[in-house]
Amino acid sequence: MLRYMTVVGALCAVWAPFRSGGVPRPEADVTVIGVAVGVVLAAALTVGGRQRSTRVVAAVAGVGLAVAVWWLLVSDLLIGLTGDDLPVLAVGSLAVAVGAVGLVGRRTRAVDGSAEHRGPREDAAHQAASAEVMPEPQATPAEPSAAHLAESVAGQPAADAAGQAGEGVSGQPAEGVAGQPAEGLAGQQAEGVAGRPAERLVGPGAEGVAGLRAVSGGEVRGRSRSGGWRVRPVGVLAVVVVAVAAFLAPAGAQAVIVRSETREARDFPPGPLAERPGGRQWAWQPPADVVDVVPALHGVAVATRDGAVVALNGNDGRVEWRYARPGAPVGSLVASIDRRTVVVSFRSLHDTRAQSVVVLDADTGTPRFEMVVRSVLVETDQVMPGAQVLTLRDNEVITGYDIRDGGVRWRWSPPAGCTSWFGQVAQGRTTVLVPVECPDRLDVTALDEVTGEERWRHELRRGDTNGERQDVQLRATSDGAVVRLQTFGAQTTPDAVPNGLLDTETGRVLSRPEQSWAVRADAGVTPLVEEDEGGQVTGLLALDPTTGTTTRLSVEACPRRTADLTTRTTYVRTCEDNGRELTVVTQPLDGSPPTSTPVRLDGSGSRGRSDVRLVAAPGAIVVTRTAFGGTPAPVVGLRS
């Protein structure tokens, strides 16, 4: 059993470096490879070593490597991030260590305690036969005395042996001499000893030699039973246990680092986003500083600095579900266009090369799938969840992953001779908008979210560079219905639209603002046009993308805003934040005067590293403050 366990453990060590290292080891890791090689060598010395000293060295090495692997695994678990390689290697190293130590102990007992496997008669015969190999001088070769023969073979007194039938000395059955069947002493086959029947031995002391060979044959068979390779149920069971443990180890490690509280799916559709804040409020006190907040299916999802994502109901602020990885800080939090999916990334405090991106069901909090992504892609907003796929741009290749299970649906690359290095990809309702630069043109290519095929294209001819940059900038509204297009270096012709607002579904030009650089599409559903002078906003207008008409908004009502958002009918801002309280200013887009609502946001975190978050969610307008250190600010919902 121990040999089989050792071999299977070595196979697990060979398999481990080919598994994903996760965020701690996004690339091939020298440490894991080196430890795996050491485990395999320890297993080889354990199984193939003939010297006891070799097996002892293998056992010591196996135990040391197992301790090192488990220490690395525990270190990963404490930071809330691990891959599949260390759990598999931990199982393999443990199996090799147990097998090596067990085989050393078993073989030592087999050598030192061989007499324990012999019965009283076999032990006496063994001693007598050993003495009989060197016959005494007074014994004649032709006729050994009965007394001497009895003492040498059976270890009995001479008188007892002489009293038995003497025919046993002259060729009668051995029982006349020793009181046993012939096969018990000299009649055993010598295949286990010398390959021939013992009774064929002749000469002085033949009977003793035969007895020695018979006993030695029993020792050899006993040694074979203790260290052989014959298939036994116990050995098969050991193989199965180690193999199953290695297969399930990654899932077990994942279960250790994840703290998840889900809820049952609801059988009713989500409510619409709140258009404006009301008079009633609810508050939820987070256990740690807030990192970000995004709208979810029935409320908001809040990420906290302790590595948790919590969903709050928009109507009353109660906790709906929770997903956490203690020890792993949240890197980013994004919601899909339809708010049915929440994507959160977890980063390592020790290795910044990659992050773990987890896709969650926004209704139940159930994890759908997980993938390891380079940190630079997460930090530059290259991970974008849509209604059907999660798109990821890595260099110039855009990949669409199924939002349900993470399977690859499609991949897209720019046409030959064209590039897509610069400019941000935008997410439409059912499209993915990609900026493309070709030698003779600049264009926007809209890909179908489900198939990855081109749906429409907006082209512009390139002008003279004159040393200036030439690229395309895209920014979509929060609902994905409208995208702002801004180009640099395109030719200005009567039929060209280098700047404007486009419909993401069809590519139709909705409007062409005169000051396209002043248009903000990231404020919410309704774009804003900001007039500034010397870095200060002096004028503010709400832009209707379908008609191009604008509505002037009051700047004086909130001269120093800390956050803002637009809905279809309202412009909401936060102002006058003194660290304990702020004011929410609401102004309808029909030109009505603004109103103010005070909101209590107590918190003792660092003001220099704080930021206000303002989100329109189903049931309420939600506001909170991010900070670092001190008492976290609450998450407050202004019910509509």
Among candidate residues 59, 29, 25, 19, the one with its CA nearest the CA of residue 43 = 59
Assess if residue 232 is contained within a domain: no
Number of H helices, E strands in the chain: 12, 33
Average pLDDT over residues 220-232: 54
Give yes or no: residues 381 and 398 share one domain.
Answer: yes
pLDDT of residue 143: 45
For residue 466, name the pLDDT band (cuts at 50, 70, 90).
low
Among candidate residues 72, 67, 88, 69, the one with its CA nearest the CA of residue 17 = 88
Give, as one character, the DSSP assignment of residue 214: H
pLDDT of residue 278: 85
Assess if residue 440 is contained within a domain: yes
Domain boundary among 55, 89, 112: 112
pLDDT of residue 116: 44
Domain boundary among 112, 136, 164: 112
Q: Which residues of 52-82 are buried (b: 16+ CB within 10 A; e: fewer)?
A: eeebbbbbebbbebbebbeebbeebbebbbb
Give yes or no: residues 445 and 544 share one domain.
Answer: yes
Q: Is the dihedral of CA 561, 565, 566, 572 positive or negative?
A: negative
Average pLDDT over residues 148-157: 41
Assess if residue 186 is contained within a domain: yes
CATH of the domain at 421: 2.130.10.10
Number of domains present in the structure of the chain: 3
Give, as one character, the DSSP assignment of residue 445: E
Average pLDDT over residues 85-99: 94
Are the C-beta atoms of 287 and 302 separated by less than 8 Å?
no
Give yes or no: residues 301 and 359 share one domain.
Answer: yes
For residue 602, name the pLDDT band (cuts at 50, 70, 90).
confident
Assess if residue 245 is contained within a domain: no
**∠ Cα 69 75 81 (to 5°):** 110
What backbone torsions phi and psi does residue 241 show, to the nearest 5 degrees? -65, -45
pLDDT of residue 197: 44
Are the C-beta atoms of 437 and 489 separated by less than 8 Å?
no
Query: Who wins on pLDDT, 140 or 109?
Result: 109
Cα 276 from Cα 79, distance rounded (Å): 41
Give yes or no: residues 360 and 498 share one domain.
Answer: yes
Domain boundary among 96, 112, 128: 112
What would the pLDDT profile of 438-456 be if each residue is shown by its tens digit?
Answer: 888 889 999 999 999 999 9
Percent of the chain residues past pLDDT 90, beyond the cut: 53
Give yes or no: residues 448 and 317 share one domain.
Answer: yes
167-171, 367-371, 572-576, range with the lowest pLDDT: 167-171
Average pLDDT over residues 51-60: 90
What would the pLDDT profile of 264-306 be if each residue is shown by its tens digit?
Answer: 988 778 889 999 998 899 999 999 999 999 999 999 999 999 9
What would the pLDDT profile of 59-80 be if each residue is shown by its tens digit?
Answer: 999 999 999 999 999 999 998 8
DSSP for 238-293, written as a single string: HHHHHHHHHHHHHHHHHHHH-EEE--PPPSSPPPPBPSS--S-EEEE--SS-EEEE
Among candidate residues 405, 497, 503, 402, the one with its CA nearest the CA of residue 452 = 402
| Domain limits for position 567 | 261-639
Q: Does the pLDDT at position 151 exceed 90?
A: no
Are the C-beta atoms of 17 and 85 separated by less than 8 Å?
yes
Assess if residue 592 is contained within a domain: yes
Q: Does the pLDDT at position 231 exceed 90?
A: no
Give yes or no: residues 215 and 328 share one domain.
Answer: no
118-127, 292-301, 416-425, 467-476, range with the lowest pLDDT: 118-127
For residue 610, name the pLDDT band (cuts at 50, 70, 90).
low
Q: How far is CA 53 from CA 44, 46, 56, 228, in A?
A: 14, 10, 5, 20
455 C-beta neighbours (distance < 10 Å), count:
19
Q: Does the pLDDT at position 49 exceed 90?
A: no
Give yes or no: residues 192 and 213 share one domain.
Answer: yes
pLDDT of residue 302: 97
pLDDT of residue 50: 80
Are the C-beta atoms of 300 and 294 separated by less than 8 Å?
yes
Query: Who wins on pLDDT, 627 or 432?
Result: 432
Are the C-beta atoms of 581 and 598 separated by less than 8 Å?
yes
Give yes or no: residues 571 and 630 share one domain.
Answer: yes
Report the relative pairing of strands 367-374 and 570-575 from DSSP bridges: unpaired
Are the C-beta atoms of 263 and 320 separated by less than 8 Å?
yes
- The amino acid at 399: T
At 210, which helix (H) or strand (E)?
helix 206-227
In this structure, the dihedral spanned by the alpha carbons of residues 631, 635, 636 and 640, taken in order and rounded to 10 degrees, is 170
Average pLDDT, the chain: 81
Assess if residue 242 is contained within a domain: no
Give yes or no: residues 454 and 549 share one domain.
Answer: yes
At 617, which helix (H) or strand (E)?
strand 611-617
Assess if residue 32 is contained within a domain: yes
Among candidate residues 409, 465, 410, 466, the one with its CA nearest the CA of residue 437 = 465
Q: Does the pLDDT at position 114 exceed 80?
A: no
97-111, 242-256, 332-346, 500-514, range with the lowest pLDDT: 97-111
Give yes or no: residues 456 and 543 share one domain.
Answer: yes
What would the pLDDT profile of 391-416 be if each residue is shown by its tens digit?
Answer: 999 988 999 999 999 999 999 999 99
DSSP for 339-379, written as a single string: SSEEEEEEE-SS--SEEEEEEEETTT--EEEEEEEEHHHHH
Cα 35 from Cα 89, distance rounded (Å): 9
Report the relative pairing of strands 431-437 and 441-448 from DSSP bridges: antiparallel
Are the C-beta atoms of 88 and 246 separated by less than 8 Å?
yes
For residue 591, name the pLDDT band (cuts at 50, 70, 90).
confident
Among candidate residues 116, 105, 86, the one with its CA nearest the CA of residue 2 = 105
In this structure, the dihedral spanned by the alpha carbons of residues 78, 350, 286 and 269, taken in order and rounded to 10 degrees, is -90
Give yes or no: residues 290 and 369 share one domain.
Answer: yes
pLDDT of residue 604: 60
44-53, 370-379, 486-495, 613-622, range with the lowest pLDDT: 486-495
Assess if residue 361 is contained within a domain: yes
Among candidate residues 564, 599, 595, the one with its CA nearest the CA of residue 579 = 599
Give yes or no: residues 180 and 32 share one domain.
Answer: no
pLDDT of residue 498: 85
